Amino acid sequence: MKEIKSREDIELLVDRFYGKIRQHETLGPIFNSHITEDQWPEHLAKLGDFWETNLFGVSKFKGNPVQKHIKVDRQLNSGITQVHFGNWLQLWFETIDEHFAGEKADRAKRSARKMATGQFLAVWHSRS
């Protein structure tokens, strides 16, 4: 297994991960109904920016994931649950473990776990 060392590694990880997401029986319909086929390349590039910022400290990512998740939750009539974030994390960890090892892979897992918790709590609190 190799370490995550470059933007190309991040792009591979993000591409393979979201390939799984799009096919997942629970997550796929959500993602595929909110991101059109022609929007996927831009979305994947933005996620690459997010993880490059997160793992390498490169200031590239611009966006507000919390507001995006709140908007999707509202469109789903408060339908996002902890199970969705659990599925997301499971696929993220699985994809990392298939391709990478080392400190950056471990950091990507820790960051994702923290992010999933924070996103879910933000969605939950927005329902009040």
As a whole number, mean pLDDT of residues 83-95 equals: 97
CATH code at position 77: 1.10.490.10
**Residue 68: HSE in the Cβ half-sphere, 13 Å Cα cutoff:** 9
pTM of the model: 0.93
Within a domain: residue 19?
Answer: yes
Within a domain: residue 1?
Answer: no
As a whole number, mean pLDDT of residues 86-114 equals: 98
Reading the block at residue 78, the tokens are 């408060």
- Where in the sequence is the domain holding 113, given as residue range(s)? 7-126
* Domains identified in the chain, total number: 1
d(CA 36, CA 45): 15
d(CA 28, CA 33): 8
| pLDDT of 1 strictly over 90 | no
Within a domain: residue 2?
Answer: no
pLDDT at residue 62 in the model: 87
Read off the pLDDT of residues 110-125 as tens digits, 9 standing for 90 and up.
Answer: 999 999 999 999 999 9
Within a domain: residue 75?
Answer: yes
pLDDT at residue 113 in the model: 97
Q: Are 10 and 52 in contact (CB under 8 A)?
A: yes
d(CA 39, CA 114): 27
